[in-house]
């Protein structure tokens, strides 16, 4: 419940950002450069005099977009690959799972860095790249579920009634395999947000002046000796967000797994 409340609060902050932010996040005020937290700027200002609180609030929109779009894409790919491999088995399963193993051999973050180096850094490219490099765990999870479910009586009955392979997978197997996928997807959102923050911190993610928690940390690194608030507050935003999704994922897992209630 704590995770659900925190995630709900983050949703509200992202949606209501234009009304919650006290200042324009891109407004430059050279008279207010590197001001510490005060009554006028609750979380201080950055090297260009921009309000840190406003930039953190608008940065939540970037994290929300990246987390859900990237994980949504990864989940769709994982569902299709895992369901196909688990249902058909044989050489189809062998080929698809060896491809999954091949993808897992590459360190995901360095693979993302290599791809981004060839493309223009943008929030759209970040979302797509994180999505197409994060689906392997979902595929393995769905495959294991499908292998178990396809031997059940309700699948045999549906097949006897003339249901096609596509109908069996989409209407009977996948809906019954979604519970563990929900847990995995919730935890993957936290990972996607961390990845986006790391890329933005390295200058390969969301580009200024668009506020992102990762590129805010870059400004904090450059001024850490004289402006501690530039590192602490964006870092806390990332910490709280990732912790929220992890708590939510654990809560969902406990709610849908009866073995944990014993």
Query: 76: pLDDT confidence band, cut at 50, 70 and 90?
Result: very high
Highest mean pLDDT: which range of 66-80, 105-119, 178-192:
66-80
Report percent pLDDT > 70 for the chain: 98
CB 78 within 8 A of CB 143: no
pLDDT digits (tens, 9 = 90+) for 224-256: 888 899 999 999 999 999 999 999 988 888 877
Tokens 């967000």, located at residue: 241
Q: How far is CA 46 from CA 106, 224, 238, in A?
A: 37, 11, 18
pLDDT at 219 over 80: yes
Q: What's the rounded mean pLDDT across residues 198-212?
A: 84
Tokens 């609750």, located at residue: 42
| CB proximity list for 83: less than 8 A, separation 6 or greater | 142, 143, 146, 169, 173, 174, 177
pLDDT at 261 over 70: no
Which candidate, 162, 71, 75, 92, places its Cα nearest to that of 171? 162
Name the DSSP letter for residue 19. Answer: H
Mean pLDDT of the chain: 87
Q: Domain coordinates of the chain in residue numbers? A: 2-9+54-255
pLDDT at 257 over 80: no
Q: How far is CA 92 from CA 154, 168, 174, in A?
A: 24, 17, 18
The strand pairing partners of 45, in sequence order, are 51
Which architecture characterizes domain 2-9+54-255 according to CATH? Orthogonal Bundle (1.10)
Burial of 250 (0-12, 13-18, 19+ CB in 10 A): middle
Quick count: other Cβ atoms within 10 Å of Cβ 162? 7
Query: 71: pLDDT confidence band, cut at 50, 70 and 90?
Result: very high
Report percent pLDDT > 90 for the chain: 35
Secondary structure of residue 65 in the 3-state scheme: helix
- Of 257 and 63, the structure prediction assigns the larger pLDDT to 63
Q: What's the rounded mean pLDDT across residues 189-206?
A: 87
| CB proximity list for 63: less than 8 A, separation 6 or greater | 14, 193, 196, 197, 212, 213, 241
Q: How far apart are CA 81 and CA 92, in angstroms?
A: 10
Q: How far apart are CA 141 and CA 259, in angstroms?
A: 18
- Of 119 and 101, the structure prediction assigns the larger pLDDT to 101
Which candidate, 86, 238, 249, places its Cα nearest to that of 180? 249
CB 179 within 8 A of CB 256: yes
Side-chain half-sphere CA neighbours of 256 within 13 A: 15
pLDDT at 208 over 90: no
Q: What's the rounded mean pLDDT across residues 80-92?
A: 91
Q: What's the rounded mean pLDDT across residues 112-120?
A: 79
- φ, ψ of residue 51 to 5 degrees: the values are -70, 125
Specify the range with the lowest mean pLDDT, choosing from 45-49, 102-106, 139-143, 205-209: 205-209
pLDDT at 225: 85
pLDDT at 262 over 60: no
Name the DSSP letter for residue 133. Answer: T
pLDDT at 149: 86
pLDDT at 100: 92
């Amino acid at each position: 419940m704590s995770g659900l409340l925190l995630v709900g609060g983050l949703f509200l902050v992202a949606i209501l950002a234009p009304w919650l932010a006290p200042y324009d996040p891109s407004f430059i005020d050279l008279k207010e450069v590197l001001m510490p937290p005060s009554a006028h700027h609750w979380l201080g200002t950055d090297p260009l005099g921009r309000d840190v609180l406003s930039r953190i609030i608008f940065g939540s929109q970037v994290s929300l977009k990246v987390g859900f779009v990237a994980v949504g894409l990864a989940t769709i790919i994982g569902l299709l690959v895992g369901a196909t491999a688990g249902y058909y088995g044989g050489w189809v399963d062998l080929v698809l799972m060896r491809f999954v193993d091949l993808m897992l051999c590459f360190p995901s973050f360095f693979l993302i860095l290599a791809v981004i180096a060839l493309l223009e850094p943008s929030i759209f490219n970040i979302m797509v790249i994180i999505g197409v490099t994060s689906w392997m765990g979902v595929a393995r999870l769905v495959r294991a579920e499908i292998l178990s479910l396809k031997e059940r009586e309700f699948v045999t009955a549906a097949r006897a009634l003339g249901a096609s392979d596509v109908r069996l997978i989409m209407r009977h197997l996948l809906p019954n395999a979604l519970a563990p996928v929900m847990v995995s997807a919730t935890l993957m959102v936290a990972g996607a947000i961390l990845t986006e923050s790391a890329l933005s911190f390295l200058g390969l993610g969301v580009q200024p002046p668009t506020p992102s928690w990762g590129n805010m940390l870059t400004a904090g690194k450059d001024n850490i000796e004289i402006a501690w608030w530039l590192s602490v507050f964006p870092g806390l935003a990332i910490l709280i967000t990732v912790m929220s999704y992890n708590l939510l994922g654990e809560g969902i897992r406990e709610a849908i797994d009866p073995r944990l209630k014993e």
